[in-house]
Structure 1
Amino acid sequence: MKQLILSATLLLLAPQIEAAEHKVLRISTNQTDLILQVGDNGRLYQTYLGEKLLNDEDINRFTWYQHPGSDGSISQRGWEVYSGSGNEDFFEPAIAITHNNGKTSTYLYYVSSSTQAIDGGIETTINLRDDKYPIDVTLHYVAYPKENVIKTWSEIKHQEKKPITLTKYASTMLYFCNSAYYLTEFSSDWAKEAQMTSQQLQFGKKIVDTKLGSRAAMIAHPFFEVGLDQPVAENIGKVLMGTLGWTGNFRFTFEVDNTGNLRVIPSINPYASNYQLPANEVFTTPEFIFTLSYNGSSEGSRNLHEWARNYSLKDGKGTRLTLLNNWENTGFNFNQEILANLMKEAKHLGVDMFLLDDGWFANKYPRDNDKSGLGDWEVNNSKLPGGIPALVDAAKEADVKFGIWIEPEMVNPKSELFEKHPDWAIHDDNRAMYFYRNQLVLDLSNPAVQDYVYSIVEKILKENPDIAYFKWDCNSPITNIYSPYLKDKQGNLYIDHIRGVYNVFKRVKEKFPNVPMMLCSGGGSRCDYEALKYFTEFWCSDNTDPIERLYIQWGFSQFFPAKSMCAHVTSWNKNTSIKFRTDVASMCKLGFDLSLKELSPEELTYCQTAVNNWKRFTPAIMEGDQYRLVSPYQSNHMAVNYVSKDRQLAVLFTYDIYPRFQEKLLNVKLQGLDPSQKYKVTEINLMPGQISTLEANGKTFSGDYLMKVGLKAFRANHTQSRVIELIAE
């Protein structure tokens, strides 16, 4: 009977495969073509990925099997778009399945495809099916023509009687045939995020991955750049820039085969994640977002920035709040009166909001340090007898908005929550517990835990609807790995936990769509475009030393727009001036985290002026185009400029980090200006009484001159900065 059913299925499938022979699918932006073709064998292959072809008839000139073999002959294998494990392809597959009968091969054949218009782009959907097993894979590609960005993901489902086991599940596969490949990756640690290193990819596999479960990007970030034919450069050369929308364990596989071709495979990391998938349930992989720039990484970054603001950043076109945070000032040691006075300081500084950080909650086990109270989200009566309502009222009296810190995915073992629900925490009772920052991760694969985490936010906002902002933290990776809820499906934990996290984010956004939120994870360990659908911004690093921040912000700016990147002025590295620290923070979403009492009257006046200037330049910094001009990795200086969309307003930031004795100082050549427009150049963000030494100050130049000749903006002294406005006349 089973054989009859399978034969009938194959009879139904065979005509579809035959009818699909040589079908060509074109996925296009205004600058890039991704061309797929059904081969003679009914399977789907990539035949081209590169600059957009001008003539439509040329898309049919490619052959699915055209790639040369190791002996110079033509390979009949081709570049299969979603290659299965156990087939005749000898390299890393996109999908691997163990079927009910214990067999492990997967061959996927083209069935059908369709296209539809979506907001800003075109979605192409492609249906594939195994010819021997009831396995279906649906590939999705969304092309955003104007932004030159493509995002892609896959869906896997089956109709076998028992669950199948997925051991690989890539979002996509991309192939390249170039003379050489150069990878730029972004390593990380606490206070050392987005550190850029490069290497040439040689024969074999290079894998970038993380196995932390939660706070997953603490060691490696989920984005990369590949220079094609030459190393990645800012303004020249072809570069692939890709990022995975996944805040859990990820893996990027870069495999150079024996003939010098490269395949790039972005995916959830299958480490400890043999996933049991029941029949008719859909396994959806994360979105992989990429752009191909033909003029270096700077252009690729602007593609991604524009795409993010338009389609994948919560309130991407909205305003952002400047703020004063209390953490560096008070730590856990505060009370209602201290906070009320800080709110007045926020108003005096000129920022929009006061943000209360960690330490405001828990009574049985008070949150006086990081060893207790996490999970018990009632206001600490000793510190704050008036509760959150009194803080909201104090903020109103000070005429600033009020925001608050939470870390609802975590629990201290020393808490009422853990006493009541130890089974809600990921941990193995058979082993001594290992704590990271004295806490454990709540098991978000459990729907009851998801409900609890969501209820924390809902309760706070229902009782205090005037709360204007949440800082949502996540300080621990998963340790003591075991889910009491999943029992015999532990291979599902790393994946279902992250899906549970996203489910909570989604519920919060649906119920409270207008509340801005900062994504934080012990610094910058959460930085993905799936989470940023629910957050307006993210915290780049706990390291606010301005020198280190130049490197951190340079790295993150490769993939994220300035309005999504929080940067605060603090007391870190007091060897630098308050001007230098503020100017560094001003190139992102500006905030402060220090006591105004630390500042002299002149320093306070400077900060107030800098806040006002930052708000004036929102059309350029927050909404405009960013141009990275001088890299701190390649010089003793750094420079970045922003230009408004109408090119009537620009702002240039220059930083002298550690110039060498009598080193040659080069002009800073701006980018993105209107060459025919005249711009008045003025140095701003000056200390009270400071007179600009910029030769061009107060003068007018053409955009052409400013881009070809530039300004003498660098100086020879350590840790100095300039902020220069350019206004069209």
Structure 2
Amino acid sequence: MKLPIAIFLSLTTATAVASQEPERNIIRISTDNTDLIFETGPNNRLYQTYLGPRLLNEEDHKNLSWHHYAGTDGAVSTRGWEAYSTSGNEDFFEPALGITHADGNMTTYLYYVSSSQEPVEGGTHTRINLKDDKYPVEVTLNYVAYPKENVIKTWTDISHHEKKPIAMWQYASAMLYFNEPEYWLTGFSSDWAREGQLSSQQLQPGKKVIDTKLGSRAAMHAEPFFEIGLDGPVREHSGEVLMGTLGWTGNFRFTFEVDNVGYLRVIPGINPYASTYELKAGETFTTPEFIFTLSCDGTGQGSRNLHDWARRYSLKDGKGQRMTLLNNWENTSFNFDQERLASLMKEAKDLGVDMFLLDDGWFGNKYPRSNDRAGLGDWEPTKEKLPGGIAALVKSADDAGVKFGIWIEPEMVNPKSELYEKHPDWAIELPNRDTYYYRHQLVLDLSNPKVQDYVFGVVDRIMTENPEVAYFKWDCNSPITNIFSPYSKDRQGQLYIDHVRGLYNILRRVKEKYPDLPMMLCAGGGGRCDYEALKYFTEFWCSDNTDPIERIYIQWGFSQFFPAKAMAAHVTSWNRNTSVKFRTDVAAMCRLGFDIGLHELSADELDYCRQAVANWNRLQPAVMDGDQYRLVSPYATNHAAIEYVDKSKEKAVLFAYNLSPRFQEKLTAVKLQGLDPQRKYLVKEINLMPGTKSGFAFDGKTFSGDYLMKVGLEVLTRRHNSSSVIELTAM
């Protein structure tokens, strides 16, 4: 029997295709310690085949499979971990990308097109190009791997050439998969004065979501970072842990989904809440950077990975020194004048700090800033308080021998202000409902280019008229309320995103014109703490809560992801039940500052503070630029201990705190880490009150690094709210 030629050709072609091994495109993204590997499947879609410790033998990559076996209705089927899963495909779980096309179709399939790799500063940039086969939609997955720091950052570019705009209702920065017996999530909750609080839970089948919908002061209730224990609950010194953070100063969302067979997918990105994004043909939507490290030695090593990466590649002036300062807020609040400030500048010099920082309350004339109900937006010095303006303050600081810094909150406006009277349409405010005020203020609409020019002009005018200004504390006290943009009337679904992008436009202009200007990122405390913002700021304010006991917990939480150099801490009068020494020792673990009336201090206390400032400056290479080791957790004990070791292992500093020891509780030695085991170290207690001597038997003695790491030092005591600072010097 002869077959019709068309059928014959069809069968022979099918046989030939079936007999051929599909082309395998294997893409490897590597650090010195981690491999992230993708492969195209027979359907030419891209799948994650591996994320874990670096594979030593390249030929082993070929043994990885693009699919995983999963039980379905009692049968065995295959499932692929698609690198950037999309809505409407055969996967039944949370996608990374959701699009409604111009014709109303809500499905997208992405197929592999090409990939490339090129060197960038500190690492390698991998681009993977994907494309839908039915619609002109293109997606580029970007990965930059930093080998030495064991950090990978990833983001996604989305574009299209459909005839009309497409509506994107999901647009994650990345998608990562894991297959482990169990998963333990450590999240970081927050509120005013309670930032960076750790809590852990085991992830169960279904979705766990951490997100925020606040718009501007976005991290007020949840921090944009997390940890996942992959072999049990997260541990400090051992175990496999994924540590991830999103570089986005607005609404974010982390989705953790354990599916029906126990696989975990992690999806970080912008929160699409009230943010369906209309993408026009030819435009590219770029997601925020997701930065992660995979540590096989617990969160301690993961933190050191991120700290090194941040100082080298992300934090503004990450390799530079930091200034100590005296702030006036806790001392004067809004009640000061030019003479009072000049006197405080002399106190700053006497204290030995580098700078005097003028906080809130210096501006407004028609509506003077005498409380938080008026003046925001009117950035002219109050003539009654400051007849000489900023120029006179700069001169007074120079005469005193210190630098001058100033507080601003340029993204906000009080309704009781000249700015609001002139430009009510510049504020985010509903046109047809009663206005809700958070802290008596409104958020300016940064999606409006005119508002961007105005906010940039606040900094530019101060710096143009007073180029000696050495520092800005940039605050942001309100989340977005009354969500409506008078400027973007037909694009309300894009306001949350366009607002943050407007902020970045402003900060980019400031950095380009004033590249060496240090700035503190503040948002009613720690309401902003992400690595995109920190490209423009040298540090962030962890919390308005400066109670030293609370600060130990707050700084412990933030230190999981940020180096000490990025964290600002001040000595204040909060919790007067603790000593000035205890308060100062806690603040000295970060960028050290003071916000206290020096007249409150005794002569001995003032001498102590001067000594502590001098020691902090001397030990900057260890505390600001060294490796951090969290040795004793306040979450697990009534004590805390943190150590810093400089990169040469020549110098180390141990901070030890006794919080609320129980009666006659057992005390154990603190075993140090990161020292050279072959070298000898002189151990000396510093930051002692004048006239007192160390109460430790080891003070002034020499020990090997090996001994200090294996046996340790007995530095913890049963004295409530007490502290010790131990300096170690290699001999």
TM-score range, shorter chain: over 0.9
Question: Which residue among 232, 236, 258 is the counterpart of 2:234?
Answer: 232
Please tell me the residue identity of whatever aligns with 1:208: I
Find the counterpart in structure 2 of residue 65 from structure 1. Answer: 67
Rounded Cα–Cα distance in structure 2 between residues aligned with 1:567 and 1:263: 36
Find the counterpart in structure 2 of residue 520 from structure 1. Answer: 522
1:76 Cα offset (Å): 3.4
8 Å Cα contact 1:215-1:476 kept in structure 2: yes
Question: Which residue among 419, 424, 427 is the counterpart of 1:425?
Answer: 427
Q: Secondary structure at the match of 2:347?
A: helix
8 Å Cα contact 1:255-1:262 kept in structure 2: yes
8 Å Cα contact 2:177-2:263 kept in structure 1: yes
Gaps of 5+ in 1: 1-14
Give deviations 1:314-368, integer Å, cap 9, x for gaps.
Answer: 0000000000000000011100000000000000000000000001111011111
Q: Secondary structure at the match of 1:76?
A: strand
Question: Which residue among 552, 577, 580 is the counterpart of 1:578?
Answer: 580
Find the counterpart in structure 1 of residue 628 from structure 2. Answer: 626
**Correspondences of 1:184-333 after superposition (within 5 Å):** 184-333=186-335
**Correspondences of 1:467-482 after superposition (within 5 Å):** 467-482=469-484
Give deviations 1:38-65, integer Å, cap 9, x for gaps.
Answer: 1110100000000000001111111111
Rounded Cα–Cα distance in structure 1 between residues aligned with 2:76 and 2:329: 63
8 Å Cα contact 2:158-2:285 kept in structure 1: yes
Please tell me the residue identity of whatever aligns with 1:689: G
Find the counterpart in structure 2 of residue 53 from structure 1. Answer: 55
Rounded Cα–Cα distance in structure 1 between residues aligned with 2:578 and 2:608: 15
Find the counterpart in structure 2 of residue 79 from structure 1. Answer: 81
8 Å Cα contact 1:36-1:48 kept in structure 2: yes
Rounded Cα–Cα distance in structure 2 between residues aligned with 1:462 and 1:73: 72
Find the counterpart in structure 1 of residue 394 from structure 2. Answer: 392
Rounded Cα–Cα distance in structure 2 between residues aligned with 1:96 and 1:447: 29
Within the alignment, does 1:652 sit opposite 2:651 as a pair?
Answer: no
Give deviations 1:543-574, integer Å, cap 9, x for gaps.
Answer: 00000000000000000000000000000000
Question: Which residue among 543, 546, 549 is the counterpart of 2:548?
Answer: 546
Please tell me the residue identity of whatever aligns with 1:247: T
Please tell me the residue identity of whatever aligns with 2:535: K
1:478 Cα offset (Å): 0.3
Rounded Cα–Cα distance in structure 1 between residues aligned with 2:77 and 2:637: 46
8 Å Cα contact 2:70-2:78 kept in structure 1: no
Rounded Cα–Cα distance in structure 2 between residues aligned with 1:568 and 1:40: 59
Rounded Cα–Cα distance in structure 1 between residues aligned with 2:660 and 2:84: 49
Give deviations 1:453-486, integer Å, cap 9, x for gaps.
Answer: 0011111101100000000000000000100111
Please tell me the residue identity of whatever aligns with 2:161: Q
Rounded Cα–Cα distance in structure 2 between residues aligned with 1:74 and 1:365: 72
1:71 Cα offset (Å): 5.7
CA RMSD, 1 decimal: 1.1
Rounded Cα–Cα distance in structure 1 between residues aligned with 2:673 and 2:59: 37
Rounded Cα–Cα distance in structure 2 between residues aligned with 1:475 and 1:496: 19
8 Å Cα contact 1:20-1:111 kept in structure 2: no
TM-score for the superposition, normalised by structure 1: 0.97
Q: Secondary structure at the match of 2:214?
A: coil
TM-score for the superposition, normalised by structure 2: 0.97
1:20 Cα offset (Å): 8.5
1:163 Cα offset (Å): 1.1
1:715 Cα offset (Å): 0.7
8 Å Cα contact 1:70-1:258 kept in structure 2: no
Find the counterpart in structure 2 of residue 162 from structure 1. Answer: 164
Give deviations 1:60-112, integer Å, cap 9, x for gaps.
Answer: 11111134334676543300000100110100000000111111001001111
Q: Secondary structure at the match of 1:150?
A: strand
Change (3 A) 1:378 1:510: same
Q: Secondary structure at the match of 1:137?
A: strand
Find the counterpart in structure 1 of residue 725 from structure 2. Answer: 723
Find the counterpart in structure 1 of residue 374 from structure 2. Answer: 372
Q: Secondary structure at the match of 2:665?
A: coil
1:695 Cα offset (Å): 1.3
Find the counterpart in structure 2 of residue 347 from structure 1. Answer: 349
Please tell me the residue identity of whatever aligns with 1:363: N
Rounded Cα–Cα distance in structure 2 between residues aligned with 1:395 and 1:376: 24
Change (3 A) 1:292 1:71: farther
Within the alignment, does 1:402 sit opposite 2:404 as a pair?
Answer: yes
Please tell me the residue identity of whatever aligns with 2:617: K
Please tell me the residue identity of whatever aligns with 1:607: C
Rounded Cα–Cα distance in structure 1 between residues aligned with 2:712 and 2:102: 67
Find the counterpart in structure 2 of residue 445 from structure 1. Answer: 447
Please tell me the residue identity of whatever aligns with 2:45: R
8 Å Cα contact 1:450-1:504 kept in structure 2: yes
Aligned length in residues: 713
Rounded Cα–Cα distance in structure 2 between residues aligned with 1:198 and 1:406: 37
Question: Which residue among 398, 415, 433 is the counterpart of 1:413?
Answer: 415
Find the counterpart in structure 2 of residue 132 from structure 1. Answer: 134
8 Å Cα contact 1:77-1:88 kept in structure 2: no
Within the alignment, does 1:337 sit opposite 2:369 as a pair?
Answer: no
Change (3 A) 1:67 1:119: farther
Rounded Cα–Cα distance in structure 2 between residues aligned with 1:724 and 1:301: 22
Please tell me the residue identity of whatever aligns with 2:449: P
**Correspondences of 1:549-698 after superposition (within 5 Å):** 549-698=551-700
8 Å Cα contact 2:70-2:79 kept in structure 1: no
1:229 Cα offset (Å): 1.8
Please tell me the residue identity of whatever aligns with 1:639: A
Give deviations 1:259-309, integer Å, cap 9, x for gaps.
Answer: 111000001001000111111111110000000000000000000000000
Within the alignment, does 1:39 sit opposite 2:41 as a pair?
Answer: yes
Rounded Cα–Cα distance in structure 1 between residues aligned with 2:280 and 2:68: 38
Find the counterpart in structure 1 of residue 13 from structure 2. Answer: none
Change (3 A) 1:72 1:292: farther
Rounded Cα–Cα distance in structure 1 between residues aligned with 2:556 and 2:435: 38
Question: Which residue among 126, 140, 147 is the counterpart of 1:145?
Answer: 147
1:160 Cα offset (Å): 1.1
Q: Secondary structure at the match of 2:470?
A: strand
Q: Secondary structure at the match of 1:220?
A: coil
8 Å Cα contact 1:165-1:274 kept in structure 2: yes
8 Å Cα contact 2:155-2:286 kept in structure 1: yes
Runs ≥4 residues deviating over 2 A:
18-21, 66-77
Please tell me the residue identity of whatever aligns with 1:357: D
Rounded Cα–Cα distance in structure 2 between residues aligned with 1:721 and 1:610: 13
8 Å Cα contact 2:22-2:42 kept in structure 1: no
